[in-house]
A = this chain, B = another copy of it.
Amino acid sequence: MALNLLESPLYGTLFGDAELSEILGDTQDISRMVLFERKLALVQGTLGVIPAEVGHAIDHGLAGAELDLGPLAQGVASSGVPVPALVSELRRHLPEQHGQWLHWGATSQDAIDTAHVLGWQAALDVLQPRLATLLDMLVAQSRANESTVMAGRTRSQIATPITFGLRIAQWAAPLIEAETEISSVREKALRVQFGGASGANTAIAPHGSAIADALADALGLAASPPWHTNRNGPLALANWLLGVSTALDKMAGDLILMMRPEIAEAQAGTGGGSSTMPQKANPVGPETIRVLAQLIRNAHAGLAAAATHDEERDGTAWPLDWVLLPQMLVATGAALRHATTLAETLEPCADRMAATLASQSGVMAEQASFILAQTLPRPEAQALVKQAVATSKPLPEALAELAPGTDWQAELDPMSVVEPCRDTAERILSGRTSNP
């Protein structure tokens, strides 16, 4: 029981991610607001909106500023945002004649949104290589298992054989697309916010756009008109995170099924012990990914509900962004970490896979019906196969009696699927061009 599985002392190690937590926590967030104020002064000085030397002095003067969160928290409690208190605190680090030029023409949302964007950027810089590493492993595992034949399952039933390599490639498929999309997500989400009180920079006209562009440049962000009420940027990032975590959720769900004792066709991760049953090994890693995926879906729905901002700026919707995107970023980071461990330790149980195939006489039924349909009307072919499946004999044997003249043993060898599965898997994996 905790208000936050991602960071609680008890649960954070499993569900959270220390590296991302630190990036997205209050302290670094405030540092990024300070960076916004520093670079704003700097570019305003350069553009002659404020005295040039003041711009430099603010930039340097606040470079090492250490701030106590206490007064800022007080500021939040009274005004709902930390910026007025932050500006006051920062002024105490500057000579009076400089301090007054701080936050010139900016509104709280400019500082906060830009700081958040910088935080998202830093988090994406962590997530992107994690995703690449996971994909490296999934690609390797897919290829290592390109000849490992197993029963495909559709609608929870045994269908036709596939390879474990193909299934792994299908786990990778949406992640490969996510990797390709990350640059366009960065472009959409990582934009500077600078619009002033009502989003038109009227107090510092006609310099608004020039300042915004220079600031974007100084901070390594995309230039943009003010987007106070246009939450497409955060939504693009949220959509991307939802896609990644959905992909991991699928991999985890499949693993939980494969690791059930009655199926036992794969092992991955190290199972958790039970408090009362000596023999048990619970699939902690996949379970954790599924829990995180649900938290991410929740957060996405909350962001969508809060994406409609009234009038020029909206204090009822905006704070949802502050918390839900960081949650999604950390949860995705943690899920990627667990998925990587699972991919790393993933081992098929080829014996069990073969045993399942052997015990399911219907698994080659479709193949048999296609072969028979070359010479028989298809409904007759299907009926014949159904008849063969209904006997208690292995399918090749049953068909040898019912439809002699074909080397059923050879034709119905599950190994025949290796080639088309490899082709399909390679078609998926070859989509990975962006990050070779």
Contact = CB atoms under 8 A, between A and B. Distances in A.
A356 B261 CA distance: 9
Contacts of A309: 250
Contacts of A202: 160-162, 367, 416-417, 420-421
Contacts of A262: 158, 260, 262-263, 356
Given A24-B1, A261-B158, A420 B201 contact: yes
Given A1-B326, A2-B322, A320-B295, A198 B280 contact: no
A164 to B, nearest CB: 12
A200 B198 CA distance: 40
A362 B277 CA distance: 8
Contacts of A311: 152-154, 156, 167, 254, 257
A58 B307 CA distance: 49
Q: Is the interface of A mostly helix, strand, loop or mixed?
A: helix
Nearest to A83: B275
A383 B256 CA distance: 26
Contacts of A316: 256, 286-287, 290-291
Interface in A90-116: 91, 96-97, 99-101, 103, 105-108, 111-112, 115-116
A227 B8 contact: no
Contacts of A307: 246
Contacts of A26: 1-2, 8-11
Given A69-B9, A206-B420, A301-B301, A197 B25 contact: no
Given A8-B25, A12-B73, A315 B294 contact: no
A405 interface: no
A25 B2 contact: yes
A274 interface: yes
Contact of A300 (B152, B246, B295, B304): B304
Top 6 A-B pairs, shortest CB-CB distance:
A279-B362, A152-B198, A79-B272, A100-B378, A205-B420, A154-B313
